Homo-oligomer: A and B are copies of this chain.
Amino acid sequence: MAAHPDTAEKTPRAPLTRERVLQAAVEIADERGLAALTMRSLGQQLGVEAMSLYNHVTNKDDVLDGLVEVVTGEVLAAAEQIAPPADPSEWKAVMRARILAARGVLLRHRWAPGLMETRTKSPPTAMQYFDSVLGLMLQGGFSLDLAHHALHALGSRMLGFSQELFMDADEAPEPEVGALMLKQMEAHYPNLAALMRVVNHDADSTIGGCDDQFEFEFGLDLLLDGLERLRARYAA
């Protein structure tokens, strides 16, 4: 809608700005992964020498900070789409919906969780998001103390991700290979082997075949239900 003065053809015309630099950085990370994001590749994406970037960004760390600004901004926007509860006591359903909305954003930026874990300063958009989450609980009847612990307990789940260790999206092994692996696992890790057999059969997928969305919601509900129980006890 905003009038933009470009001719229709490829115009490396638009002046460089911090925003354009960050937007290009997001594109690279989305398409080729965070490892592919270097000052040189970023310059190239913008049709400019790497050194020009330093006029709009103080250094690479600043670019990375900017990346999480962008992502948490999208999270905030997505969460704001979900209306506040009709009755404050219905905090849980709204919180759940907002967190799942946040998760939707992070799924579009797979590199974001790993990056956010390395940052120490939270951008204003993240602060705003946390503030709204906190407000939801306080209005829902949480004490400040309980809400405080809840924030810690939810941790990264608030932003829509949880680190499941070593659970890589392993590609399906050949059936025979899979059977052999299972035999070997049987010997060393009997319980895990039993688990893998079940997971294999239940899902249409293979060994690594867990339903990420289901597991995320399972863990989330465990926490939210526990918090609601504590809230109710406190309120009583």
Residue picked from A121, A151, A155, most chain B C-beta under 10 Å = A155
**15 residue pairs from A and B, CB less than 8 Å apart:** A117-B163, A117-B165, A120-B166, A122-B166, A126-B165, A131-B188, A131-B192, A134-B195, A144-B198, A149-B219, A152-B218, A153-B218, A155-B162, A155-B164, A225-B226
Judge whether A32 is part of the interface by a CB distance below 8 angstroms.
no
Residues in B neighbouring A132, C-beta threshold 8 A: 191
The secondary structure that dominates the A interface is: helix
Q: Does A5 contact B (CB under 8 A)?
A: no
Copies of chain A in the complex: 2
How far, in angstroms, from A100 to B149 measured CA to CA in the complex? 18
Confirm or deny: A33 has a beta carbon within 8 angstroms of a beta carbon on chain B. no
**Known contacts A119-B166, A166-B120; A135 and B191 CB within 8 A of each other:** yes
How many A residues, CB 8 Å from partner?
57
Contacts of A198 in B (CB 8 A): 144-145, 148
Cβ contact within 8 Å between B222 and A191: no
Also in contact, A117 and B120, with CB within 8 A (given A144-B198, A191-B131): no
